[in-house]
Structure 1
Amino acid sequence: MKPLAILLLAVLTACSDNIMSAPPPPPTTVSVAYCTGLEPMWVAFQDGDGAWTRALPTVSNGKVVFQSGFASDRGGIATVFRAGSGITFLGVLYGAPEELGTVSDTSPRFCGPPIVKSLVGSVAGVDSNEFVIVRAGSDAQTLAHAGHEFLLNVLPPGPQDILATRVARIGAIDTLTKIILRRGVDLPDGATLPVLDFSSPEAFEPAVASVSLSGIGTGGAAISTRLITSGFNGTFGVVTGQDIGTMRPYFAIPEARLLPGDLQVLFASGHGASPNSVRSATRFFHAVQDFTIGLGADVVPPTFSTIATAPSLRLRARFVNQTEYGRRTSVSYQEDSTRLVSVSMTQDYALRVGGIYDLVIPELVGVAGFDRAWALSATNSLRWSAARVGGTLGLGIDPAPFDGATQRGACISDVLTP
């Protein structure tokens, strides 16, 4: 056979319909889990651009689980919760299949047993111009003064760390002067704690370092610090005011007092240049050091348009790309005091649809089990807010932090006439 004939035969073979193509990837199964009692009352999934399909719950290992299979590399999840006073919250998240599970809520912080306990205590080594803030676990907090007992409520069962900070008030300025970090306290309900004595060797001085704030504008910024241990998650440093400069000290736990795995958090927030605009920045760290923290730009308000008014009001919010907020973009609408509707999109989803942040309320009326009262209705006015998040911290209700993780956020709100 001549070379030309061989070449033509090869080309024809390459273009043949009989060529065996690679099989499509197997479907991805997404599981979204909640602690019993915290699960939504309705859940639906969307695979790619397909129809929304309701998912019914199952119970596995004490958790309420919703599952769906995905053939596409993107999808959505819609959940409905009922909050206090009868208000409903419809939340929609568009993301890669593996990102949809971030709406799960199985954190021990929120899923502990309903049984809580209270402890009684007292403080010593506190002057008349000083007071003590006592915190434990993630929710228990109280104020204490010398010569008076305090009651520490809402403590979950099991070992909890107690963090007590002595604060001196000089004029209008609060300064943290001593700290007591008591680990693994597990006393019965109503028990009395050993005295928190700030003149004893148990008390230590806080570490002090500097933070340089950039991008704060004329509105200034407030900063605070937080401690995360296996038995504690709460703010402990005094909050410094908005307008005391771009370089300021912050208080932290000395490294010698920390255990491996303990993390501290430096948080800064301030108003933006636009009305009703707030920006924030977070840095997770173990060892105390000087930091530079920058607040990002204001959220550029989205462009709104109406997709439909019946059977429900469906709105589109189109955002420009703001690279510093490359994790998640959200828009929420509040209709009077009865319902909230929120739509979010991850960066991965946006990149898979051409890099466009086009947040559209889906039509869910007609999906099995969906109540028309959960959706927006044609109205003259809605309160809206938009939020964008960037940084290296993961997505979700309670993402796992790590040393060096960062998060940058911004939000803006206004009134919309659809």
Structure 2
Amino acid sequence: MEPTPTIGVSVATPAVTVVAGQSGTAAVTVTRGGGYTGAVNLTVEGTIPAGSATPNPAALASGVTASTITITTGSATPAGTYNLTVRAAGTGAVAAVTTPLTVTVTAPVVPGFTIAPAAALTVTQGAGAQTATINITRTGGFAGAVTLTTSGTIPAGLTLTPAAASTGNTSTIAVSATSAVAPGTYPITVNATGAGITGTQTTTLNVTVAAAQATPDFSIAAGAASVAAGGAAGTSTVTITRSGGFTGAVTLTTTGAPAGLTITAPAATTGNTADLSITAASTLAAGTYPITVNATGAGVTGTKTATFNVTVTPAVQVGGYTLGTTGAVSVQQGATGTTTLNVTRTGGFAGGVTITPTGAPNGVQVTVTPNPVTGNTATVSVVASNTATTGTATITLTGAATGLANQTTTLSVNVTAPSTGGGNVSYAFCAPDIPIWFAYQNDNGAWTRVTAGANNTFAFNVPARGGIAYVTQTGTNYDLTVVYGTAAELIAGGQQRCASLPRGTKRLTGSVAGVSATDFASVSLGGSSEILVGGQTAFTLDSVPEGSLNLLASRSSIDLATFSLTPNRLILRRGVNYANNAVIPTLDFNGSESFAPATANLTINGAGTDTAFVATSFFTGAFNLSGFGTGGVFFNFGSSPLRYAGVPTDRLQAGDMHALVAFANVRGDSTSSRGIYSFVRTITDRSVTIGPAPSAATVTAITSTPYLRLRATAASQASYNAGASVSFTQATRTANISVTPGYVGGSAPATWDLSVPDLTAAGFDANWGLRPATRTDWGFSTYGGNFLAFIGGVPAEGTTFQFANKTGTFAGALRSFSRQPLATGRSPLEVTLQRASARFQRLQQAIVGARR
């Protein structure tokens, strides 16, 4: 049987890729079998748009087995995959065969590029140029040079300088800004053209201009120092205030020290403070020595200077001391008790003694004021919280003094639960200030009227917190007082209410000598005082209380340029008890009885550019009936430091104290003022710091019936967190409302909120209240510091009390010298300082008259 003739066909590369517009090839192999030796014809089935696939040769003679298919495409050939079939056919009875051929046409590659900033750029005003990098992404085999330019809204002073054309993958732009370019971010358009490339590529470069850095600099200030001749070293702390990024080392030196005063500066420092060590030889005379500190800083031009005072005290004699208290303390939960700590000094020891209390039960806080103790006594305050552990505990008071062994004493403290019976709070009033109506409020409950008992005493019970309200009448004038506080605070206010500054019935007359027509004279006895101006010599003192009192008189000169009143002679008569209608022996300021006052500087920190003044009052005795006296209120206006005056140290006795008030009106705001009371014994150079200007206060009406009820609010301030009060003053009506932090939760609220309460349910006569449609002046006061001195406590050396006042009017223009409230009750200091304020106003009016 004869074999069947056959042929076969195959493509060496059955899948061919061709770029549009170009050509490609595919090798074809033909095989013969079954004795077939004839010719084979090749054809390609299928089409390529705008192209072709052609075998060459198409006819393979006998014995030829290879051919090539040429694939051509045009630029119009779409990219894609085309499936073709290669067919081989012989002659005679040979069957035709096929094999697939796939042609993939791809789009032609076009050279090109894109650009983008590597990152945003920040430059500083007036500084050197910064470089922005622009990334170049190349495609299609593009390798030509790329040239950059910039366009868009470019502010004057902002300069952008592209680098030369780049054949790499990056290029740069130098960017700089003068000081005239405002700080901010500026979007800059960057344009790029490529050699042989049609069109322009763009991108956005964000350029941030930063403010120029300040010049490195610094300033210094030095604190005063005190050392004992031949004693331990003292320290003056130099404060370094750096600016403009200055971090370099500061080197200190000093000049001005006398022989015997050695001041050693530390090594150069990169910190913000440096301590000067100060020693005084035992031969150095006591006194105050001004010292100049010089400072140089690494990299800073010039020398900075500051001046401070070194006070040299006499050599300390080695001695000792012992401690003791005047008695045990019994205190209710939620209240405060006090006792006196006695420091008995021996061998000439006069140094400070630091007291540390230990052993207090839970919820009891023991503090000593002042601490360190520089005198012979201090006040020990025992504050028991509402949850303090009840019972008797022994407190140990340990004293520490330089160079001496520690001393101790014990104090028995008995904490009791609050009284639950009626009458644990009592307010006793003295004529002529006896209320015509009195009520109290337990917690925030209903107001309850209280009638007076024996000795004009109003008694009631407030276990934790509450309020009192009372009305006093003078002719057709009515004054409403409302006080909110803890039970302990109300008890303290009630205990001092009548005993603070009684008004007697005696009238005394007298005269002064040694005064000229340009002098001012003052005479004060038991809270009654008289000011003499324009050469007046006769005076009358009314409402002088009975008992042994201290009389203080002063002669002062006036500085019409500064409105300052400075005393030049004082007369102090102790223990006088003149009969009613008696004539006081002549007070001769040129006589041997008179003496020169002590004067010193008071630095008022925090006043800024505000005009400040300092006033001095002198208190004698123990702030009570038998020894109370006040007088010599002296004023000085101007810029800090200011001179202030008082009684010399060698004429002071136990219980004597000066009260300083440093006060500043806020510049440009006649409705705002702030100040600080400071209680000191001796007149020496001192400094005080007043707080910030008061918060704005808002006064609104709650209702006008049956009487006008006003509400005042103001944001609380950290410097004045010890209490707040507001006064509303009309021609014949006033309302004064006060509150302590203890009443509102133990700490100052975010906003002080005081209002005239609705008292009608407790029998309050609407005729006593503020009248609607009537001009009403208001004063909002906030307080900080040791507020106990104003609610019945006795201030000690160093006790301070800050205040801030905001005044306004609810209808009409602001009235001059509107009344300002102070605190709960009317303590000795409150009454005294209110009278001192009235004397100051009369003095100021007299001064204005003298200037005219």
TM range (shorter): 0.7 to 0.9
Distance 1:202 1:105, change over 3 A: same
In the aligned structure 2, how far is the partner of 1:174 from the partner of 1:312? 43
- The one-letter amino acid of 2:678's match is R
Instruction: Write the deviation string for residues 237-279 of structure 1: whole angstroms up to 9, x where unpaired.
Output: 53212x3x21122112111101011111112223124332222
Match of 1:207 in 2: 598
Query: How many Å apart are 1:209 and its aligned residue?
Result: 1.3
Match of 1:32 in 2: 427
Question: Residue 312 of structure 1 contacts residue 365 of structure 1 at CA under 8 Å; is this kept in 2?
Answer: no
- The one-letter amino acid of 2:642's match is R
Instruction: Write the deviation string for residues 70-117 of structure 1: whole angstroms up to 9, x where unpaired.
Output: 24x221111122234x122222211112222426631353343x2x13
Match of 2:550 in 1: 161
Match of 1:236 among 612, 628, 632: 632
Question: Residue 276 of structure 1 contacts residue 414 of structure 1 at CA under 8 Å; is this kept in 2?
Answer: yes
Query: How many Å apart are 1:145 and its aligned residue?
Result: 9.2
Instruction: Give the TM-score, by structure 1 length.
Output: 0.79
Query: How many Å apart are 1:308 and its aligned residue?
Result: 4.5
Query: How many Å apart are 1:353 and its aligned residue?
Result: 8.9
Distance 1:187 1:330, change over 3 A: closer
Match of 2:568 in 1: 177
Match of 1:79 in 2: 470
Distance 1:151 1:309, change over 3 A: closer
Match of 1:143 in 2: 532
Distance 1:51 1:184, change over 3 A: same
Question: Residue 569 of structure 2 contacts residue 594 of structure 2 at CA under 8 Å; is this kept in 1?
Answer: yes
Match of 1:259 among 650, 653, 662: 653
Instruction: Write the deviation string for residues 212-234 of structure 1: whole angstroms up to 9, x where unpaired.
Output: 01222433112121111134533
Question: Residue 263 of structure 1 contacts residue 286 of structure 1 at CA under 8 Å; is this kept in 2?
Answer: yes
Distance 1:87 1:136, change over 3 A: closer
Question: Residue 571 of structure 2 contacts residue 589 of structure 2 at CA under 8 Å; is this kept in 1?
Answer: yes
Distance 1:208 1:301, change over 3 A: same
Give the match's secondary structure for 1:287: coil
Question: Residue 519 of structure 2 contacts residue 533 of structure 2 at CA under 8 Å; is this kept in 1?
Answer: no
Match of 1:222 among 594, 610, 613: 613
In the aligned structure 2, how far is the partner of 1:157 from the partner of 1:373? 36
Task: Give matches, 1:14-413, under 5 Å.
Answer: 26-27=419-420, 29-59=424-454, 63-71=455-463, 73-84=464-475, 86-101=476-491, 102=493, 105-107=497-499, 109-112=501-504, 114=505, 116-124=506-514, 132-143=521-532, 150-154=538-542, 155-168=544-557, 175-189=566-580, 191-230=582-621, 231=627, 233-236=629-632, 238-241=634-637, 243=638, 245-273=639-667, 274-334=669-729, 336-352=730-746, 355=749, 357-367=752-762, 369-376=763-770, 379=773, 382-394=776-788, 396=790, 400-413=794-807
- The one-letter amino acid of 2:641's match is M
In the aligned structure 2, how far is the partner of 1:32 from the partner of 1:249? 40
Give the match's secondary structure for 1:204: coil
Give the match's secondary structure for 2:743: helix
In the aligned structure 2, how far is the partner of 1:360 from the partner of 1:333? 10
Instruction: Write the deviation string for residues 344-382 of structure 1: whole angstroms up to 9, x where unpaired.
Output: 211111225983533233222222x22122334654864
Question: Residue 32 of structure 1 contacts residue 67 of structure 1 at CA under 8 Å; is this kept in 2?
Answer: yes
Query: How many Å apart are 1:40 and its aligned residue?
Result: 1.2
The structure with the greater share of residues assigned to strand is 2
Question: Residue 722 of structure 2 contacts residue 740 of structure 2 at CA under 8 Å; is this kept in 1?
Answer: yes
In the aligned structure 2, how far is the partner of 1:319 from the partner of 1:269? 21
In the aligned structure 2, how far is the partner of 1:270 from the partner of 1:39? 35
In the aligned structure 2, how far is the partner of 1:136 from the partner of 1:160? 7
In the aligned structure 1, how far is the partner of 2:418 from the partner of 2:546? 46
In the aligned structure 2, how far is the partner of 1:42 from the partner of 1:58? 13
Give the match's secondary structure for 1:298: coil
In the aligned structure 2, how far is the partner of 1:284 from the partner of 1:66? 32
> Which runs of 5 or more residues in structure 1 are unaligned?
1-21
In the aligned structure 2, how far is the partner of 1:127 from the partner of 1:389? 41
Give the match's secondary structure for 1:256: helix
Query: How many Å apart are 1:151 and its aligned residue?
Result: 3.6
Backbone CA RMSD of aligned residues: 3.3
Query: How many Å apart are 1:329 and its aligned residue?
Result: 0.7
- The one-letter amino acid of 2:529's match is A
In the aligned structure 1, how far is the partner of 2:758 from the partner of 2:787? 32
- The one-letter amino acid of 2:614's match is I
Give the match's secondary structure for 2:719: helix
Larger radius of gyration: 2
Give the match's secondary structure for 2:788: coil
- The one-letter amino acid of 2:689's match is G
In the aligned structure 2, how far is the partner of 1:128 from the partner of 1:379? 46
In the aligned structure 2, how far is the partner of 1:34 from the partner of 1:220? 39
Question: Residue 789 of structure 2 contacts residue 795 of structure 2 at CA under 8 Å; is this kept in 1?
Answer: no
Distance 1:171 1:77, change over 3 A: closer
Give the match's secondary structure for 1:347: coil
Question: Residue 225 of structure 1 contacts residue 235 of structure 1 at CA under 8 Å; is this kept in 2?
Answer: no
In the aligned structure 2, how far is the partner of 1:55 from the partner of 1:380? 30
Give the match's secondary structure for 1:56: coil
Give the match's secondary structure for 1:98: helix
- The one-letter amino acid of 1:27's match is T
Instruction: Give the TM-score, by structure 2 length.
Output: 0.41
- The one-letter amino acid of 1:246's match is S
- Number of residue pairs matched? 382
Query: How many Å apart are 1:284 and its aligned residue?
Result: 0.9
Distance 1:133 1:413, change over 3 A: closer
Query: How many Å apart are 1:398 and its aligned residue?
Result: 6.5
Give the match's secondary structure for 1:384: strand
Question: Residue 133 of structure 1 contacts residue 166 of structure 1 at CA under 8 Å; is this kept in 2?
Answer: yes
Question: Residue 121 of structure 1 contacts residue 150 of structure 1 at CA under 8 Å; is this kept in 2?
Answer: yes
Match of 1:13 in 2: none
In the aligned structure 1, how far is the partner of 2:565 from the partner of 2:658? 20
Question: Residue 117 of structure 1 contacts residue 157 of structure 1 at CA under 8 Å; is this kept in 2?
Answer: no
Instruction: Write the deviation string for residues 274-326 of structure 1: whole angstroms up to 9, x where unpaired.
Output: 33222232111112222112222232133445545555544443332212222
Give the match's secondary structure for 1:330: strand
Query: How many Å apart are 1:343 and its aligned residue?
Result: 2.2
Query: How many Å apart are 1:393 and its aligned residue?
Result: 4.2
Between stretches 264-273 and 230-239, larger displacement belongs to 230-239
Identity %: 30
